[in-house]
Amino acid sequence: MTIDFPNPEGQPLITENLCIGCGICQKRCPFGAIKIITVPDELNRDVVHQYGVNSFRIYSMPTLSRGKVTALLGQNGMGKSTTLKILAGLTVPNFGKFDVEASKDTVIDHYSGTLMGSYFRDLYAGKTKVVLKDQHVDLIPRVVKGTLGEILKRGDPNNRLDEVTSMLDMEGALGKDVSSCSGGELQKLAIASSLLKDGDIYLFDEMSSYLDVNDRMRVASIVKDMAEKKTVMIVEHDLALMDWMADTVHLVYGSPGAYGVISEQKTTNRAINAFLTGYLREENVRIRPYEIQFQDRSHKVEQTGIQLVEWSDLSLKLAEFSLDVSKGYVKTGETIGVLGRNALGKTTFVKMLAGVLKPDTGTVSATVRVAYKPQYISIDFQGTVRDLILSVANDAFSSPFIMNEVLGPMQINELMDALVNDLSGGELQRVSIATTLARDADIYLLDEPSAHLDSAFRMAAAKIIRRVMENNRKSAMVVDHDVYFIDLISDKLIVFSGKPGIYGRSFGPTDMKTGMNIFLKDAGVTFRRDQVTKRPRINKQGSSLDRMQKNSGNYYYSE
């Protein structure tokens, strides 16, 4: 904005403080020297739902499209799950009038004459049946009891149990008690329960958490097929999986825990690229102050640390499952990624290194201090996040490195006064990672640290873990199912194979290229990189690029 009075040099004064975004200065200024980009705000918008005074608010609603998979993409804490609950009829939007009981008639009147008006009218009248799969599958054992087969049979009105369990490859786990299930088995239970229900609209909230690549592709295929006859919406943080299965995407931006804004529909490729760059070109809105960048190469430089922990050939038998682990070692300053299908013993191996389980044969050097983040995060702690950090690492707040390189990037400071028992899944995961890294240990074992984290925090967590290991000459072993997360964080790989729930065996540690190709060949999946953002993208099965990479034996990016 140009002001008429001159500055001391006699030139017109341009000040950002007085800018109203009219765009006049952009047009008048030569050479394109001025560019105005707006930042997220909530002015001049109609509130869809608000929880209370100065509490979270959500603006606008997404569009559901029959015959397509629609996705919501954005940071945690911006209302994606709230949006799904509104669409499912579990939450009635109050349009900012939180001090009175929300009315379904008000919702219908508010959206009268629009597609959403027809949607809510049919939903509230019971003409439209909506099935919602919740994101918190780790809480299932707290609310239901019995074996997986018994639980699913109770919710199978159309006798489709055999069909659905076969599609999800979970027949072998039906006799397993829910209290002893892995994260992947609980996720399959939640998805199977949704598929057994007869609905018109299916809403899946974070359906890939805890699933390996094979199962993620299997579930994605089921959802894509379902969308040909049903209406489907997903919330997903695995960008490669979303790119492969979604037809359109709504970006969700704003301020976590304060407000969320849902953008207009975009094509999947354009939406994901906009999310990574942090800039919505059509809306001219900067949704993040930094760009998420992907690496060009899929392998790391060999680390030159000293040998820290070593294990011989290990074996362990648990009930009907047996595990054999080949000998190996970890050096200081390096991070080893662990890949493999669910129920092959990855978590069991980590527990043996952590001293939680003892192998039947073989030994693990026990001269190192271990900090362990388990797969399931269940912290029954009566206090704030600050109290929790002080209880596990009382010198964390006096360490500039921990404060600046761990707590800061994971945005733990904003959670310090929050009660631990009130944290969301993503917040609890961030706190768990931070408290693990804040401990004084020699080796850090992290089991599925990307679960419940959005794409931005997954990137941040990967960089933080690597920085802690490299700067402090520590070692880490990370079990995860997000292929890019493992690629970004790892110096070497250990790959598990076998028959899920029956036996498992490990290969490695090996270099990244060898390990990744072994893993993806077993999964039957090939990856490529996006030419613009370098992000990982799953090749379509049977495509020319898929066939070419399989024939060359290079399953993870053609270089």
The residues spanned by each domain of the chain are: 2-32, 307-511
CB–CB of 311/299 below 8 Å? no
Q: Is 288 helix (H, G, I), strand (E, B) or coil?
A: coil
Superfamily of domain 307-511 in the CATH hierarchy: P-loop containing nucleotide triphosphate hydrolases (3.40.50.300)
- Amino acid type, 159: N
76 band by pLDDT with thresholds 50, 70 and 90: confident
User: Distance of CA 203 to CAs 232, 275, 352, 381, 494, Å?
Assistant: 6, 22, 38, 32, 35
**Residues 417/419/420/421 CA torsion (nearest 10 deg):** -170
Instruction: State the residue for tokens 């099965």.
Output: 541
Q: What pLDDT does residue 73 have?
A: 93
Backbone φ and ψ of 472, nearest 5°: -100, 5
Q: What pLDDT does residue 41 have?
A: 59
Q: What pLDDT does residue 37 have?
A: 42
Tell me whether the omega of the peptide bond preceding residue 509 falls within 30 degrees of 0, making it cis. Answer: yes
Rg over alpha carbons for the chain, rounded to the nearest Å, is: 25
Average pLDDT over residues 230-255: 91
CA 184 to chain centre: 14
H-helix or E-strand containing 49? strand 47-50
Average pLDDT over residues 30-47: 55
User: H helices of 247-318, where?
Assistant: 268-277
* Span 436-452, pLDDT tens digits: 999 988 889 898 898 88
3 band by pLDDT with thresholds 50, 70 and 90: very low
Q: What pLDDT does residue 535 have?
A: 80
- Percent of all residues in the chain with a pLDDT value above 90, rounded to a whole number: 34
Residue 237 has pLDDT above 70, yes or no: yes
Instruction: State the residue for tokens 């893993």.
Output: 519
- A 10 A CB-CB count for 369 gives 11
Q: For the chain, what is the mean pLDDT?
A: 85
User: Distance of CA 16 to CAs 2, 23, 482, Å?
Assistant: 10, 12, 42
Q: What pLDDT does residue 128 have?
A: 92
Structure token digits, residue 405 = 């390189």
CB–CB of 71/263 below 8 Å? no
Is pLDDT larger for residue 522 or for residue 433?
433
Q: What pLDDT does residue 513 have?
A: 85
